[in-house]
Amino acid sequence: MSLADTDASALWLSLRLAAITTALLVPLGTPLAWWLAGGRARWRVLIDALVSVPLVLPPTVLGFYLLVLLGPHGWIGAAVHALGLKALVFSFSGLVIGSMVYSLPFVVQPLRDAFESVGVRMLEAAATLRASPWDRFFSVSVPLAARGFVTAAVLTFAHTLGEFGVVLMIGGSIPGRTRTASIAIFDHAEALDYGAANRLSATLIVIALVLLVGLYAVTRSARGPTAMVRTWPWR
């Protein structure tokens, strides 16, 4: 069972989109997750809800508003045009932006839960040893939340790999540029080419299973969280 060149190109584009989205979203979502885990602001609940909106909204709704914002008459699209930059809609860059918005909760929620599980005792102990906030974050919280980072990265990659509605609304189906694997499957099914749709679907299933099995293996075999804390530099 082999994939045609066009399907291989669509699969490669999906893999590249998932990798770039994950690489950008994990470091960008970490400060937000940290703040949600330890912040005391009353409107933190509102931010938490906004982060979770992509989980409950139909992808086409989110894709539509992103299309409006990124389009030539939208706030972001108009600013990009004024700067003389390439349009974001129907481009790979637009897909990355849309994927980051759509996959945001898959990064923030696991990291928020991981940071909350760290608790305050270790951080207070570090503070008594004159550790700065940066030291406490990178030397205590991050190592203790390591499994949360693994979960966030794997779920974001797998989720982005299977995106359909958002990427279709923003990028359309341009071969080699915005035609992802999920869109290629839809195109094959619409053309009644079920054999090609089956081959590409089976490939995505295998990739997803490998990612999830690897995730569960890592999280279940990981040592206790306190064993992952490296020696504090301020001792």
Domain span including residue 215 = 5-228
Helices (H), the chain: 5-38, 44-56, 59-70, 75-82, 92-102, 104-118, 121-128, 133-136, 142-144, 146-161, 165-171, 181-190, 194-221
Tell me, yes or no, whether 220 lies in a domain: yes
Instruction: Read off the pLDDT of residues 106-132 as tens digits, 9 standing for 90 and up.
Output: 999 999 999 988 877 777 677 777 677
Contact 125, 131 (CB under 8 A): no
Instruction: Read off the pLDDT of residues 19-46 as tens digits, 9 standing for 90 and up.
Output: 999 999 999 999 999 999 887 777 888 9
Residue 164: the pLDDT is 93
Instruction: Read off the pLDDT of residues 134-162 as tens digits, 9 standing for 90 and up.
Output: 887 888 888 889 999 999 999 999 999 99
First vs last Cα of the chain: how many Å apart? 58
CA distances (Å), origin 214, targets 11, 183, 210, 211: 20, 26, 6, 5
Instruction: Read off the pLDDT of residues 71-103 as tens digits, 9 standing for 90 and up.
Output: 988 999 999 988 888 889 999 999 999 999 999
Residue 2: the pLDDT is 59
* Residue 209 buriedness (CB in 10 A; 0-12 / 13-18 / 19+): exposed
Tell me, yes or no, whether 217 lies in a domain: yes
Query: What's the CATH code of the domain at 181?
Result: 1.10.3720.10
Question: Is 224's pLDDT higher than 70?
Answer: no
Tell me, yes or no, whether 139 lies in a domain: yes
Tell me, yes or no, whether 233 lies in a domain: no
Question: Is 204's pLDDT higher than 90?
Answer: yes
Tell me, yes or no, whether 85 lies in a domain: yes
Give the pair of three-digit tokens for residue 46.
């509102």
| Reported confidence tier of residue 13, pLDDT bands at 50, 70, 90 | very high
Point out the least confidently predicted range of 16-20, 140-144, 167-171.
140-144
Give the pair of three-digit tokens for residue 125.
């102990």
Please name the residue that has the structure tokens 């499957």: 185
Tell me, yes or no, whether 234 lies in a domain: no
* Residue 131 buriedness (CB in 10 A; 0-12 / 13-18 / 19+): buried
Residue 149: the pLDDT is 95
For the chain, the domain total comes to 1
